[in-house]
Structure 1
Amino acid sequence: MAYDQIGGTSAGLAARLDAELRNAHPLDVLKAAYAHFGDRLTLVSSFGAESAVLLHLVSQVSPAIPVLFLDTGMLFGQTLDYRKTLAAKFGLTDVRDLRPAFADLATQDPNSDLWRTSVDGCCHIRKVLPLDRALGGFEAWITGRKRFHGGDRLSLPVVEEADGKLKFNPLANWSKAELDAYVAEHDLPSHPLVAQGYASIGCWPCTKPSEDGRSGRWQGQEKTECGIHVARAPGVASNVGGDI
């Protein structure tokens, strides 16, 4: 478990930082996170429909902050191209492509069709497990979640503790209008699929065009999160599978 400089637990540090930063500009949140954690901080990005804003903000703090990208093997080709475009445009120097383990695919999804029978199982081996492995070397991470996404995100704090690590949600307070205004101000490139009606973009089997938010993800199911941000009982590994 991580400890802050005055000996408190990571949960105590998260509460203190959330109180200090809950009304701060996203750039100030990122600066505070980087000042406190340095090379122990990473950003997890889907390079999806809304990802450019946070990636651009992070690049202004330090383009060397590691960016973890979950290449599930089920992404749209446009997303893979977009990842390269944004990394080059923003000068990001440490984008790490995380892929599912060969052994997990061979034993649990040899035909790449697990999503047909278990979307949670598919997310687990293609997203949750690779990210868990990659996060082992960090004490804090940054997400692109916002409250206007709805569901469990309505009460999203700016800083929280999960599984012994701090999670920073710099865009938690921002509305869709504020995101759009930032994109326009900085002339940020849009994900190619946005023009085709995709408001939120994940893996192709579970993503459909939608008019707003995340309604196009896992349509017809109760599922709203891939599992990365699902709370776990203490000491229990994740067993369920955005823009992240």
Structure 2
Amino acid sequence: MESMEIEKINKTLSNAHNDVRIAHILNKYRDEVLITTSFGTTSALLIHMISRIRPRHPIHFVNTGYLFPETLEYKDKLIDRYGINVIDHVPDKEKHRITREDELWKDNPDLCCHYNKVEPLAKIKKNHKVWISGLIGYQNSYRSGLEILQERDDLYRYYPLIDWSPEMVEDYFESFGIPRHPLERFGYDSIGCTHCTKKGEGREGRWGDSGKTECGLHW
């Protein structure tokens, strides 16, 4: 796909309803579409849309081994409610052991994320052509610069929610009665692993004062 074609698609999809955005890619690429979720505070938006369009399409989830119990409970709740087909993945046992024993999240959070999240997903990515994920632009400065569709590392990245506003997110949750992550009401706007998540607005509660803003999946 040429850059001019990608630019044309982005322009067309910028005015399209989100169901149309997702259906367009799922119908065109079908089994070559990778869908991922973290079961974070806004993950249910994409999950709900997929459940309406193609509920049995695999949705891949990486359990780092350091997630909040509430996140795993939320995962089960959404699976029960929407009948989605979630495929679980875990990190390499030996590398996970190293991160746990050396407490890598303190001195080398990038490597900790790489072992526990990036590497497990890398094995899956190579079998797909398009990757759909629920990133939203207002969540941080990096995400605000992303387009709906772009080509990265021989894989098309597709972010159907990237141009949503906080008001659109709230309205969607309320309109469809979608359950919220149980930790939201305690002040957690963005939720990842227990060691690297604190209360805070947006993604300011992730990775403390380290300057890190992403786990590395979406670079």
Please indicate the TM-score interval, normalised by the length of the shorter structure: over 0.9
Q: After TM superposition, which residue ranges in structure 1, 4 or more long, deviate above 2 angstroms?
A: 11-17, 103-106
Q: CA deviation at 1:36?
A: 1.0
Q: Output aligned runs, 1:68-83, within 5 Å.
A: 68-83=60-75
- Give the letter for the 2:207 counterpart: W
Counterpart of 1:140 in structure 2 is: 130
Q: SS of the residue aligned with 1:64?
A: coil
Query: What do you get for the CA RMSD once the two structures are aligned?
Result: 1.5
Which structure dedicates a bigger proportion of its chain to helix?
2
Determine the C-alpha separation between the residues in 1 that align with 2:174 and 2:190. Answer: 19
Q: Which has the higher contact order (CA 8 A, sep 6+)?
A: 1
TM-score in terms of structure 2 length: 0.94
Q: CA deviation at 1:178?
A: 0.6
Counterpart of 2:89 in structure 1 is: 98
Structure 2, unpaired ranges of 5+: none
Equivalent pair of 1:14/1:160 in contact (CA under 8 Å):
yes
Q: SS of the residue aligned with 1:67?
A: strand
Determine the C-alpha separation between the residues in 2 that align with 1:97 and 1:189. Answer: 21
- Give the letter for the 1:123 counterpart: C
- Give the letter for the 1:194 counterpart: E
Counterpart of 2:50 in structure 1 is: 58
Determine the C-alpha separation between the residues in 2 that align with 1:86 and 1:129. Answer: 25
Equivalent pair of 1:146/1:156 in contact (CA under 8 Å):
no
Q: CA deviation at 1:146?
A: 1.2
Determine the C-alpha separation between the residues in 1 that align with 2:28 and 2:102. Answer: 41
- Give the letter for the 2:198 counterpart: K
Determine the C-alpha separation between the residues in 1 that align with 2:100 and 2:183. Answer: 28
Counterpart of 1:169 in structure 2 is: 159
Equivalent pair of 1:41/1:141 in contact (CA under 8 Å):
yes
Determine the C-alpha separation between the residues in 2 that align with 1:171 and 1:43. Answer: 13
Q: SS of the residue aligned with 1:111?
A: helix
Counterpart of 2:216 in structure 1 is: 227
| CA offsets 1:37-73 (integer angstroms, 9 cap, x no match) | 1111121100011111110011111011211111000
Counterpart of 2:177 in structure 1 is: 187
Equivalent pair of 1:198/1:216 in contact (CA under 8 Å):
yes
Q: Output aligned runs, 1:16-55, within 5 Å.
A: 16-55=8-47
Determine the C-alpha separation between the residues in 2 that align with 1:111 and 1:13. Answer: 48
Determine the C-alpha separation between the residues in 1 that align with 2:28 and 2:7. Answer: 14
Structure 1, unpaired ranges of 5+: 1-7, 231-244
Q: SS of the residue aligned with 1:161?
A: strand
Q: CA deviation at 1:110?
A: 5.3
Aligned pair count reads 219
Equivalent pair of 1:52/1:86 in contact (CA under 8 Å):
yes
Counterpart of 1:151 in structure 2 is: 141
Equivalent pair of 1:42/1:141 in contact (CA under 8 Å):
yes
Counterpart of 1:85 in structure 2 is: 77
Give the % identical residues: 34
